[in-house]
């Protein structure tokens, strides 16, 4: 994507994989429950690291974690933990690996879809912020604190308010592209397909 008509958010770049992520994924409303769960897990693995590190390892993560299928991962135990701790392609952190397994079980135990669980916090409609500079963008918000608290009540781990807010930004529950960034308007337009009732409208 060309940087015409404005400038990208300051965090994007300079590596092509980072620019592509900013230009095609970050801030795009995500409604698929499994994809939402995958992004929450990856944001948890990012804790203490840079996002570019996770991006570069994402293919290896997907291979190591069975395509991030929570139904499969929920049945894993110590043998799989040991296998993952020996995998140089991923972030080898026992706590985060074990949290992924427990988060898969929490996902499976939800009485409602994970997508509905999350999107209800914004009434099904992405929040539209209008930040002029990177310095204005918060690290967490009262809403991310509430979502984090509820995720923990539901059995999820590695989902503190800061991780949760980064996840909400990435999955488009909130549009935090800077107003000068061409992707702000593009993601806002995608949000027009949402309905305040929480149901997604079919495209015209």
Annotated binding-site residue numbers for Zn(2+): 9, 22, 177, 181
Known binding-site residues equal 9, 22, 177, 181
Q: For residues 174 and 188, is the Cβ–Cβ distance under 8 A?
A: no
φ and ψ at residue 199, rounded to 5 degrees: -90, 145
In this structure, the dihedral spanned by the alpha carbons of residues 92, 144, 120 and 181, taken in order and rounded to 10 degrees, is: -90
Distance of CA 91 to the CA centre of its chain: 17
Using alpha carbons, list the distances in angstroms from residue 189 to 28, 52, 153: 10, 27, 34
């Amino acid at each position: 994507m060309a940087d015409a008509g404005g400038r990208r958010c300051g965090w994007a770049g300079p590596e092509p994989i980072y620019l592509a992520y900013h230009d095609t994924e970050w801030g795009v409303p995500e409604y698929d429950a499994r994809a939402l769960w995958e992004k929450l897990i990856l944001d948890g693995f990012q804790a203490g690291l840079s996002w570019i590190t996770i991006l570069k390892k994402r293919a290896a993560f997907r291979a190591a974690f069975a395509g991030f299928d929570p139904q499969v991962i929920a049945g894993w135990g110590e043998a799989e933990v040991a296998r993952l701790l020996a995998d140089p392609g991923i972030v080898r952190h026992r706590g985060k690996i074990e949290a992924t397994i427990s988060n898969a079980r929490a996902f499976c135990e939800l009485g409602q879809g994970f997508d509905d669980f999350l999107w209800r916090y914004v009434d099904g409609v992405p929040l539209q912020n209008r930040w002029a500079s990177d310095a204005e963008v918060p690290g967490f918000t009262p809403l991310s604190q509430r979502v984090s608290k509820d995720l923990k009540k539901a059995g999820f781990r590695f989902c503190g308010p800061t991780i949760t807010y980064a996840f909400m930004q990435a999955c488009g529950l909130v549009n935090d592209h800077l107003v000068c960034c061409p992707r702000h308007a593009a993601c806002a337009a995608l949000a027009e397909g949402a309905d305040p009732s929480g149901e997604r409208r079919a495209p015209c």
